[in-house]
Amino acid sequence: MITLILAGLVLFMVINFAALHTWIERKQSAVMQDRIGANRAFIELPWKWATPINWLLRPINELGLFHPIADAIKMFMKEDYIPPYGDKFLHTLAPFLSLTFGIVGFAAIPFGDVLILGSRTINLQVAPMNVALLYIFAMTSMGVYGVILAGFSSNSNYAFIGGMRASSQMLAYEITLGTTIIGIVMIFQSLDLQQIVRGQGHLLFGWIPMWGVLVQPVGFFLFLAAGIAETKRIPYDMPEGESEIVGYFTEYSGMKFGMFYFADYVETIMIAALTTTLFFGGWQIPYLMQDGFHFPWGTEVLIPHLGVAALQIGSFTFKVIFFCWLFMTVRWTLPRFRYDQLMELGWKGIFPISLANLVLTAFALLFF
């Protein structure tokens, strides 16, 4: 029962944050480009007695927060087109695969330590497992099948090229992604994300939190570069290059297109959550223990357990939001690579550096 409640909570948060992400990206790009941004979707009741309600809705209308709802209504109302010579079953299956495998990976992400309610101790992780990293990589790797099938089943040359680009790109950068986290696994001696986060609560030299970004700084930047590539967003959006081939979802419309669109944001949140968990302490707050803050200079600030749990969940959420903002900033700042530049960066650039970083980490652990 507890697992179902946690799963429902995580699913609710991920789906709603992904929907809100569409509005955030519009507003952030508008701010960066000195525009107003999304503000045309609004609700205003025509009756006189509804004036107080309209007054309350006014700030939401001005911010354009109803745009995600308007997008969903528009996509549900559009025609569901399937190419006459395409494979109808695979064409329908592809977006479900991309979105499903993007969401189920969150089951292994710890968003807090433990919640103690009476005699019950609840691990704030939907599916505690000692191979959480392998599970997440397996799920994210399966997501590429949705992209490949979308290109293959559409019977369109442009969609097929987009699917092939996506598969080769994700292969190139998933290898780097896996290589960069081996250093973290070697240092913290675990594939369990909860144990890795708890290990980052230790202090280096008695006062510096042992976060992954400090013990694996090169690995962090490599993971960030490869992670953005895995989301298939600018500057790595060759599979969806609108000005070149349109992409693997060329022949998609309605909510099937919406699922691919939604899956991109879910993948962005997943990379942000992994970056937070592996390199920035996850739910950790420096010097925060189970009963409150214990500072290195001897000061203690005791906090009730529920307050500690709330701070940990808030810390994890804030870090994930920060990295989502960072990814959007990169997306609206850098131009798109050429495809040969993308592959050269992956195979000749960050992959050899990730191997060198792995060797240096092994030597450091052996001698120090």
Task: State residue 277's pLDDT score.
Answer: 95
353, two tokens: 């550096």
Give me the count of residues in the chain: 368
**Position 150 in a domain:** yes
The answer to whether residue 31 is domain-embedded is no
Residue 5 lies in a domain: no
Of the two residues 246 and 310, the one the predictor is more confident about is 310
Asked if residue 21 is part of any domain, the answer here is no
Domain that holds residue 200: 87-367
Percent of the residues in the chain that have a pLDDT greater than 90, as a whole number: 35
Has residue 162 been placed in a domain? yes
Span 40-61, mean pLDDT?
Answer: 85
Instruction: Look at residue 358 in the predicted model and tell me its pLDDT.
Output: 92
Residue 80 φ then ψ, to 5°: -90, 100
CB atoms within 10 A of CB 40: 11
Q: What is the pLDDT confidence band of residue 246, given thresholds at 50, 70 and 90?
A: low
Does residue 23 belong to any structural domain of this protein? no
Q: Where are the beta strands (DSSP E) in 124-271?
A: 203-204, 208-209
Domain tally, the chain: 1
pLDDT beyond 80 at 340: yes
Residue 337 CB coordination number (10 Å): 18
Q: Is 117 helix (H, G, I), strand (E, B) or coil?
A: strand
Average pLDDT over residues 140-166: 86
Note whether 10 and 111 are within 8 A (CB).
yes
d(CA 231, CA 367): 37
On whether residue 173 sits in a domain, the answer given is yes
- Per-residue pLDDT of 178-215, as tens digits, reads 899 999 999 998 999 999 999 998 888 888 899 999 99
What pTM was estimated for this model as a whole?
0.92
49 lies in some domain:
no
Contact criterion met (CB below 8 Å) for 150 and 157: no
pLDDT digit string, tens, across residues 89-110 = 999 999 999 999 989 999 999 9
Across the chain, what does the average pLDDT equal? Answer: 88
